[in-house]
Amino acid sequence: MREIQEGRWAEGARFPSDQELTSRLGVSRMTVRQAVSELVNDGFLRRDHGKGTFVTRPRALRRFWTVISFTEEMRSRGLEVQNKLLGVRRVIPPGPIRKALRLGPGERVLQIRRIRAVHGQPIAYNVSNIPLSRCPDLDRCDLEEDSLYLIIQNRYGYRITRGDRAYRAAKPSRAEAALLGVAPGDSVLVVEGATFVDREVPIDYCYEVYRE
Amino acid sequence: MREIQEGRWAEGARFPSDQELTSRLGVSRMTVRQAVSELVNDGFLRRDHGKGTFVTRPRALRRFWTVISFTEEMRSRGLEVQNKLLGVRRVIPPGPIRKALRLGPGERVLQIRRIRAVHGQPIAYNVSNIPLSRCPDLDRCDLEEDSLYLIIQNRYGYRITRGDRAYRAAKPSRAEAALLGVAPGDSVLVVEGATFVDREVPIDYCYEVYRE
DNA sequence: TAGTGGTCTAGACCACAAG
DNA sequence: TTGTGGTCTAGACCACTAA
């Protein structure tokens, strides 16, 4: 009973209710719901409790926020994210990071090390480096609770406009393997790069290791 | 009835059968199946028809290939991709692209323009620039059928090792809006950058516009 | 053959939204 | 109050797998 397909419905149009499909197709309601659920999962329909079922444009497959922010990417997939703070320090960054952030020789950054977990399983190890001159007293915020980029935008009034990322497959260091719960020989995905606000001002240089 | 959670099962271990859960928890089988289906969808369990249900490690949320290759990313989500070839030309690339690809002044690239579609809906506009010196006669391959990066690896023996990408939200050009079927004022995601093989040799400079 | 998952039935009660 | 989706029941038959 899978003959319900997308027949060029207009976006936002009302889709037949469970009851209507049940009687029209002569199948039981559980069967209807299962078929409709597939279309909902594929992003063609949206159910509103008490209101009805509606045709929706298939959700965008990539959006600026979902590629730039780990938290947003996971949420867009309907997964809950836990951030575990490993450490927060004010440090003078190494040369390449200083360069990428366009900082003067003595300027310090806030180095934030975190483990991102989904369903309690560690997924990624993340190090962010944020210039203190651009986000003063960032270490007074609740960095464990919510999206770092949300804080940067809401508390400091920046607008994040661009993200540069380099992707490569690699072997984790011993410490990274231990943090992610993988074998040292396993392959991991390393993502690295700067995030920019407003007029091309770098606000973060992040280094991430994803379990693969 | 959602009290079935992940209780640190070993990977590959057998999960209780529907029947066993039904009698053990005192609920009906449809209820059990719905709860188990959620765990299957979230990647914690795998069902094998006739064999049983097994614990599986949650699938990786980001892998090198799924962030580097559009085709692979869509396939990993269980979606079918269609590539529509708009045009293939041998051209001398503009300065910034020539620089990113580390080409000499007169060297030519194969410019490949494509529309990527999922479920018949256009999702992205993509322009790849591939040095002909590194992939001679690439225009003789079937570029519509399959993954460009698969061809580069299989036919030319390269191993793709790194991808650099810059992400930004933008407004589409009039031509891009028309190709993607969006309004000119809508926001789109622009992705741009080089892909590298082996010893940091750039093999592609791609420019992509995603519907948002 | 016995056990598993895949699908389906014909009901039921509930929570939510709108008139 | 009515109609909607969310959840659940207690069965049933089928296809697949392995002994």
A82 vs chain B: nearest CA distance in angstroms? 15
Q: Is the CB of A14 under 7 A from strand D?
A: no
Interface contact B9, partner A, CB < 8 A: no
Query: Residues B99, B75: contact at Cβ < 8 Å?
Result: no
Closest residue to C10 (CA, C1′): A28
Looking at the predicted structure, is the pLDDT value of residue A180 above 80?
yes
All structural domains of chain A: 14-55 (1.10.10.10), 64-211 (3.40.1410.10)
Mean pLDDT, chain A, whole residue set: 90
Residues of chain B contacting residue A73, judged by C-beta atoms under 8 Å apart: 61
User: For B20-27, which contacts have Cβ atoms below 8 Å and span 24 or more sequence positions?
Assistant: B25/B1, B27/B1
A121 touches chain B (CB under 8 A): yes
Residue of A nearest to B44 (CA): A119
Q: What is the pLDDT of residue A4?
A: 47
pLDDT above 90 (res B78):
no
**pLDDT of A2-30, one tens digit each?**
444 445 677 788 999 999 999 999 999 99
Averaged pLDDT for residues B74-99: 90
Helix (H, G, I), strand (E, B) or coil at B71: helix
Rounded percentage of chain B residues whose pLDDT exceeds 70? 96
Residue-by-residue DSSP string for chain A? --------PPTTPEEPPHHHHHHHHT--HHHHHHHHHHHHHTTSEEEETTTEEEE-PPPPS--HHHHH-HHHHHHHTT--EEEEEEEEEEEPPPHHHHHHTT--TT--EEEEEEEEEETTEEEEEEEEEEETTTSTTGGGS-TTTS-HHHHHHHHH---EEEEEEEEEEEPPPHHHHHHHT--TTS-EEEEEEEEEETTTEEEEEEEEEEE-
Asked if the model's pLDDT at residue B29 lies above 60, the reply is yes
Average pLDDT over residues A106-129: 92
- Using the structure, give the distance in angstroms from the CA atom of B30 to the C1' atom of D14, rounded to a whole number: 16
Residue A3: per-residue pLDDT:
46
pLDDT at B7 over 80: no
Calculate what percentage of chain A has a pLDDT beyond 70.
96
User: What value does the mean pLDDT take over residues B47-57?
Assistant: 92
Instruction: Note the pLDDT of residue B20.
Output: 94
Q: Does residue B160 belong to the interface with chain A, where contact is any CB pair within 8 Å?
A: no
Query: What does the mean pLDDT of chain B come to?
Result: 90
Ramachandran angles phi, psi of B162, nearest 5°? -155, 150
Task: Please compute the mean of the pLDDT values over residues B170-174 and round it to a whole number.
Answer: 96
Chain A, chain B: beta-carbon pairs less than 8 Å apart = 101
Could you tell me the two tokens for A173? 């260091």
More confident residue, B119 or B90: B90
Q: Which of residues 127-156 of B touch A (CB under 8 A)?
A: none
Scanning every strand, the nucleotide with its C1' closest to B28's CA turns out to be D9
| B165: chain A residues, CB-CB within 8 Å | 164-167
**What are the two backbone dihedrals, phi and then psi, of residue B19, each rounded to the nearest 5 degrees?**
-60, -45
End-to-end CA separation in angstroms for chain B: 36
Subunit contact B191:A162, Cβ cutoff 8 A: no
Average pLDDT value for residue range A76-98: 90
Nearest one of B49, B50, B16, B48 to B35, comparing CA atoms: B16
Q: Residues 6 or more apart from A120 whose CB is under 8 A from it?
A: A82, B6
pLDDT (tens digit per residue) in A50-80: 999 999 877 777 889 988 998 888 877 777 7
Largest Cα span, chain A: 75
pLDDT above 80 (res B201): yes
CB-based contact (8 Å) between B59 and chain A? no
Is A30 (CB) below 7 Å from strand D? yes
Q: Is the pLDDT of residue B77 over 80?
A: no
Least confident of A74-78, A180-184, B113-117: A74-78
